[in-house]
């Protein structure tokens, strides 16, 4: 009797696990819309209530120029979120980029984010130039020409002077980038305006420049800043590296891993992603990144498992003591 009940309960456990496997699918969705929003705070309350009600986690930023977010949760909940999101007219054509989440906890919440954060800011992507950005119902005004991954390949085949311009922070590019890309030495997106104004990239003004970033949002702004500073032929990769990776994986012009701002750290597009990162401690090839060991410091480095962490210049003396 006892054995029989044990058999039954283990069968039940198996079927419950199978049921959970079948119905809970951890996903992460990346999205942005540039559109004039008259009442960002009303959007904030709506998105906060919607996300909380559906058990989503992640980060959403809203400004008078649009919305930008990453949300993680069960696929069914995210699909409900997407239906509601698209029901608001300015958001109806949103391009959602989906990727696999690491998992869901016992409450069904994404383990890739600590909580749900929905905030109103001056900018939905922090270039420190909110007054320069112009947005209408079609998106950013005066930005670079959008290129699909296929059209990007067409451009590269038809021209021999195409320059890839990484629109992310230098650290992100250290573990993955388009082959031969220019990687500006920026620690945060706010450094771009100063760098462009310094004339450091004026030699690119006569060339076709393809800006690219994770999901495309940073290039919406970056490409418009470049156009208004006299870069004559500026493109932006539509859907960013995420969309390119979906289509070409590691068999195109991309090399390495894609850095992501959640607990996953990075994602690969195939089982044969190149490892292009170099450990700051020992020089070994790695795609791992870690913070400066000083708890108050937000600087990050590419650093292998063995070296674990390396201190920044400012905190090096501290940790050597
Ligand atoms: Zn190392
Ligand atoms: Zn530090």
Q: Are 71 and 261 in contact (CB under 8 A)?
A: no
Q: Are 181 and 165 in contact (CB under 8 A)?
A: yes
**Residue 195 C-alpha from the chain's centroid:** 22
Position 319 scores a pLDDT of 46
Residues sharing a CB contact under 8 Å with residue 166, sequence separation 6 or more, in sequence order: 172, 173, 177, 178, 181, 182, 183, 184, 212, 213
User: How confident is the model over 262-321, as pLDDT tens digits?
Assistant: 889 999 999 999 999 999 999 999 999 999 999 999 899 999 999 998 999 899 865 444
User: How confident is the model over 22-78, as pLDDT tens digits?
Assistant: 578 999 999 999 999 999 999 999 999 999 999 999 999 999 999 999 999 999 999
- The model's confidence at residue 17, banded by pLDDT at 50, 70 and 90, is low
User: How confident is the model over 190-220, as pLDDT tens digits?
Assistant: 999 999 999 999 999 999 999 999 999 999 9
What is the 225 CA–ligand 2 centroid distance (Å)? 30
* pLDDT surpassing 70 at residue 19: no
* pLDDT surpassing 70 at residue 14: no
Ligand nearest to the CA of 307: 1
Position 64 scores a pLDDT of 97
- Among 287, 285, 284, which residue's Cα sits nearest to residue 269? 287
Query: What global pTM score does this model have?
Result: 0.87
Determine whether 282 is an active site residue. no
Ligand nearest to the CA of 306: 1
User: How confident is the model over 139-156, as pLDDT tens digits?
Assistant: 999 999 999 999 999 999
What is the 284 CA–ligand 1 centroid distance (Å)? 6
What is the 124 CA–ligand 2 centroid distance (Å)? 26
Residues sharing a CB contact under 8 Å with residue 4, sequence separation 6 or more, in sequence order: none
Position 3 scores a pLDDT of 47
b/e sequence 177-208, b meaning 16+ C-beta within 10 Å: bbeebbbbebeebebbbeebeeeebeebeebb
Q: What is the DSSP string of 95-126?
A: --EEEE-S-B-TTS-BTTSSSEEEEE-S-SS-
Separation of alpha carbons 149 and 128, rounded Å: 29
* pLDDT surpassing 50 at residue 4: no
Separation of alpha carbons 264 and 68, rounded Å: 19
What is the 312 CA–ligand 1 centroid distance (Å)? 15
Ion ligand 2 residue ranges (Cβ < 5 Å): 292, 294, 297, 299, 312, 315
What is the 175 CA–ligand 2 centroid distance (Å)? 20
Phi, psi of 64 (to 5 degrees): -65, -10
Ligand nearest to the CA of 288: 1
User: How confident is the model over 93-142, as pLDDT tens digits?
Assistant: 999 999 999 999 999 999 999 999 999 999 999 999 999 999 999 999 99
């Amino acid at each position: 009797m006892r054995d029989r009940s044990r058999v039954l309960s283990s069968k039940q456990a198996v079927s419950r696990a199978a049921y959970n496997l079948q119905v809970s699918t951890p996903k992460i969705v990346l999205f942005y819309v540039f559109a004039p929003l008259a009442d960002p705070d009303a959007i904030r309350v709506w998105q906060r209530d919607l996300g909380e009600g559906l058990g989503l986690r992640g980060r959403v930023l809203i400004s008078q120029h649009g919305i930008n977010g990453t949300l993680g949760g069960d696929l069914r909940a995210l699909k409900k979120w997407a239906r509601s999101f698209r029901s608001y007219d300015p958001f109806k054509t949103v391009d959602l980029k989906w990727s696999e989440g690491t998992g869901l906890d016992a409450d069904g919440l994404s383990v890739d984010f600590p909580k749900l954060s929905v905030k109103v800011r001056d900018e939905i992507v922090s270039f420190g130039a909110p007054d320069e950005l112009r947005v209408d119902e079609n998106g950013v005004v005066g930005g670079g020409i959008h290129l699909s991954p296929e059209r990007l390949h067409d451009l590269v085949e038809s021209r021999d002077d195409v320059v890839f311009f990484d629109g992310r922070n230098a650290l992100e590019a250290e573990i993955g980038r388009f082959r031969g890309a220019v990687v500006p030495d920026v620690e945060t997106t706010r450094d771009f305006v100063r760098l462009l104004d310094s004339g450091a990239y004026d030699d690119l003004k006569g060339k076709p420049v393809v800006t690219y970033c994770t999901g495309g949002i940073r290039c919406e702004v970056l490409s418009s800043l470049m156009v208004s500073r006299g870069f004559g032929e500026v493109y932006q990769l539509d859907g960013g590296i995420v969309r390119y990776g979906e289509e070409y994986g590691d068999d195109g012009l991309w090399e390495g891993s894609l850095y992501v701002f959640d607990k996953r750290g990075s994602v690969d597009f195939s089982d044969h992603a190149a490892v292009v990162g170099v450990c700051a401690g020992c020089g070994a090839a790695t795609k791992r990144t870690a913070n400066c060991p000083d708890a108050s410091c937000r600087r990050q480095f590419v650093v292998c498992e063995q070296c674990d962490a390396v201190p920044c210049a400012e905190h090096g003396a501290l940790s050597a003591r």
